[in-house]
Amino acid sequence: MSKVRVLLVDDRPENLMSLEATLLNPDYELVKVPSGEDALRYLLTNDCAIILLDVQMPGMDGYETADLIKKDPKLKDIPIIFLTALNTDAGYVARGYRVGAVDYMSKPLVPEFLRAKVAVFAQLHRAKEKIIEQQAQLREHEAQAQRRRLAELELVSLRREQALHRRYRELVEGIQHAVVWVAEPSSLVMSFASPSFTATTGKVLDLNRADQLRHLVHPDDWPTFELRLRDLRPDLPETIVHRLLRRDGEVLWLSTTVRLEKKIERGANGGGHDEGDEIRGFSVDVTEAKLVERTLSLLARISEEANRSLDASDIVQHVAVACVPDVADGCCVIVESGAGDALPGVSTSTWSTPQQAALAEKLEALPLDASSPFYPTNAPILVRDVPQHLGGDDDLRGNVLRELGAHSFLAVPLVVGERRLGTLSMWSCTPSRPMNEHAMLLVGEIGRRTVQALENARLYHGQTEAVAYRDEFLSVASHELRTPLSPLKLGLQSSLSSLTKAPDKPPTPTVIKSLQVADRQVDRLQLLVDTLLDVSRIRAGRLELDRGRVDLDGLVREVLARFQVELDRKDLKVTQRLAPVAGRWDRSRLDQVITNLITNAIKYGNGKPFEIEVERDESRARLVVIDQGIGIAAGDTERIFNRFERAVTSKNFTGLGLGLYITRQIVRAHGGDIKVESEPGGGSRFCVDLPVEGDAASIMH
Ligand code: ADP
């Protein structure tokens, strides 16, 4: 506990001494001053609990001093005890009280009284001090409570902020296919990027470096990107679609939305405050969507290219060119010979990047048949690792692919219904764009579109061919039909006029001859009309057989007998070697077959004798017609069995080119076949095989 300071003011040192002696107490600090002025001076810089003030002093007396003290707000509450020997009457005492004295003591002072009085004031002072101290403590306590409450509030808001921040961070960190970033508008230096930055770009984020934003944009797209960022206006977000070149060389497509916003940064005191602008970016990986978009436009382009031409070679060329380099680094399209009636022989087109064109040509020259591992039948062939799985002594194609630097390869069959048209194959030398299941879907679709274009071409050619056939047929048929008509008409007219002139006389030999000629002409016309009817029946699939027992040798003799007049007229000998063979066939149709072959042996036989054989073995009957006529070139021996196909010109030999077509259709309808062996000038050997089965075989025995 601090001492109670008591200020003793008296001009007489002996009085001061006696006061000091009276009040000597360890609880008091006694300060002695010799005048009112000294007392005031002392109080300017010091404090005290009680003032014992002598009233009568030279200079400033006790009242004046007390008056000044009471005027000072800092000092006015200090209790003053006036000490006087003189003015003990009530007037003086009243004056002392007016200036604010709390007590009044007359000299000579009774020491006990003085001590008791001072002790009361000292006690009061201590009580007051205690109250002040308690008040201060209370205030401090309240201040502490207030501070604690504030701190608690601060903590709650900090926690909330931390939770928000954590949530925000979790959100940002959870974003997989997008990068959230912030950059400074003038320098474009990044100040933040979400962790997906590394996964997206393949590069480690280093915010100490100024060029990090460039990692998000393909170098070719950077100038436009930068321009758009620099043109950003506050509150006007922009979306930029651009590429990104990953560290591994893969190219991604990003759609970046950027906005210019007021920067909010935490100040030193934790409060937020604005500090200029910042660009906030959100870059989403749209590669898949872009791929779909690009695939659709690619497919549309391929369809357009493929359908630009109606020529198979052009189509395969267009397709191959359109696929490189968007789908693959190299592409080879092969349309096989015989793939369609109207498609020409093998058409191959290989297209590769210009640097590899020469190598790709090598590939084009290599044959591709069903034995090759590159020949897809029903399903596509996918080779993911060309260096490991392809190449070697026998694998020429594989070797070329390896030379081309291909690491993956894909081949799909080109098919329409059951019919196989060829193969579409592609290879990739770019690791980031391998031939895989995705590529398989795309290439499969390209294949279907190629087939569609080839089919269009085939249908178109079939159509034009059909129109050409029809025109040719009409001119030949009308000629053929017309030729017998004029002599028929003339013959009938002259016979009619002879018979009318002499109705009672028997017809003259001339008339009879003329009627015979007319009869032959009618036969010829009937044959022509029957032939045309047969063709339309065959085309409509209505060639029906009326099977019954037929003796083939007998039928040959019968047909030959019908030709006898003509053979005699032309002095033609026919050698016959006819073994007895019977079967269940359509008699009139086989008659047609034999008639056609004999007609041709006479027509194209150069007037030389011919032979007819009928023989049989275990399961089949064979009819052979051998002539020594003009023969047939090797390239025509198959073709002449097709509709309207002829190996001669209509100038030298009349005909519709339908006889052998109908013949083969009839023979095939019986389950047999017809072939020819021939060489130009060396005659021809037509050989018809007919199956002899079941009861047909038993008939023969
Ligand atoms: P067409 O005799 O009316 O022309 P075909 O279908 O009977 O019709 O014959 C088709 C073609 O086959 C003939 O135009 C001819 O060029 C050739 N040909 C048929 N038979 C013989 C043969 N015996 N000798 C040589 N060529 C033949």
Long-range contacts of 74-77 (CB under 8 A, 24+ apart): 75/43, 76/100
- For residue 160 the two structure tokens come to 């909330």
- Stated as kind and residue range, the H or E segment containing 334 is strand 330-335
* Tokens linked to 102: 């709390």
Query: What's the CA dihedral at 180, 182, 186, 187 to 10 degrees?
Result: -90
Q: Of the candidates 522, 524, 495, 531, which has an alpha carbon nearest to the alpha carbon of residue 510?
A: 495
Kind of pairing between the strands at 610-616 and 673-678 = unpaired
Q: Where are the alpha helices (DSSP H) in 82-110?
A: 90-98
CB 498 within 8 A of CB 510: yes
- Compute, in angstroms, the gap from residue 660 CA to the centroid of ligand 1: 7
CB–CB of 285/252 below 8 Å?
Answer: yes
pLDDT, one tens digit per residue, over 365-421 is 777 666 666 777 778 889 999 888 888 777 888 888 888 888 999 999 998 888 888
Q: Which pTM was predicted? A: 0.50
Give the number of the atom of ligand 1 that is nearest the alpha carbon of residue 660.
Answer: 6
What beta strand segments (E) does 363-483 contain?
Answer: 381-383, 408-416, 419-428
For 314, other C-beta atoms within 10 Å of its C-beta total 17
Mean per-residue pLDDT pooled into runs of 10, the chain (701 residues) = 91 93 94 95 93 90 89 90 71 71 81 91 89 92 92 91 87 86 94 92 93 95 96 92 91 94 61 70 91 85 84 86 86 73 62 77 73 76 88 81 89 87 89 87 91 87 78 76 82 87 85 86 85 84 90 96 93 96 94 96 96 93 96 91 86 87 94 95 96 56 34
Residue with tokens 């219904």: 417
Strands 103-106 and 80-84: parallel
Q: Which atom of ligand 1 is nearest to the CA of 604?
A: 24
- State which of 606, 632, 651, 679 you would mutate to test the pocket of ligand 1, scoring each by most atoms of that ligand within 8 A of its C-beta: 632
Locate tokens 């080839």: which residue? 454
pLDDT in tens, 572-610: 999 999 999 999 999 999 999 999 999 999 999 999 999
Contacts of 307 (CB under 8 A, 6+ apart): 452, 453, 456
| Cβ contact 685:677 at 8 Å | yes
Q: What are phi and psi of 438, to 5 degrees?
A: -60, -50
CB 451 within 8 A of CB 491: no
- State how far the alpha carbon of 515 is from the alpha carbons of 361, 500, 509, in Å: 71, 15, 10
The C-alpha atoms of residue 10 and residue 402 are separated, in whole angstroms, by 123
pLDDT tens-digit profile of 321-359? 888 888 888 888 888 765 445 455 566 777 777 777 777
Q: Which atom of ligand 1 is nearest to the CA of 625?
A: 23
Q: Which helix (H) or strand (E) holds 280?
A: strand 272-285
Among 481, 592, 604, which is best to mutate for testing ligand 1, by the most ligand atoms less than 8 A from CB? Answer: 604
How far from 84 is each of 10, 39, 96, 119, CA to CA, in Å? 10, 17, 11, 20
Q: Calculate how far, in angstroms, residue 49's C-alpha sits from the geometric centre of ligand 1.
A: 153
CB 123, CB 93: distance < 8 Å: no
Distance of CA 647 from the midpoint of ligand 1 (Å): 7
Q: How far is Cα 43 from Cα 45, in angstroms, rounded to an integer?
A: 5
Q: For residue 286, give every residue at least 6 positions away whose Cβ sits within 8 Å of its Cβ, in sequence order, or none.
A: 241, 253, 254, 255
Output the CA 657–ligand 1 centroid distance in Å: 7
Predicted confidence at residue 676, as pLDDT, reads 96
Kindly give the number of the ligand 1 atom that is closest to the alpha carbon of 646: 14
Per-residue burial over 424-457, b if 16 or more Cβ lie within 10 Å, else e, is bbbbbbbeebbbeeebbebbebbbbbbbebbbeb
Ligand 1 neighbours (beta carbon < 6 A) = 596, 600-601, 604, 627, 629-632, 640, 646-648, 655-661, 684
For the CA of 648, the nearest atom of ligand 1: 16
The rounded Å distance from CA 648 to ligand 1 centre is 8
Q: How many CA atoms lie within 13 A of 244 on its CB side?
A: 30
At 623 the pLDDT is 97
Beta-strand runs (E) in 467-609: 547-551, 574-578, 582-586
What interhelical angle do 312-323 and 287-306 show, nearest 10?
Answer: 160
Distance of CA 26 to the CA centre of its chain: 100
Residue 414 forms beta bridges with which residues? Answer: 422
In the prediction, which pLDDT does 128 show?
87
Tokens 């005492």 found at: 93
Q: Tokens 């090797």 identify what position?
A: 634
**Distance of CA 587 from the midpoint of ligand 1 (Å):** 23
Which two three-digit tokens encode residue 544? 């029906």
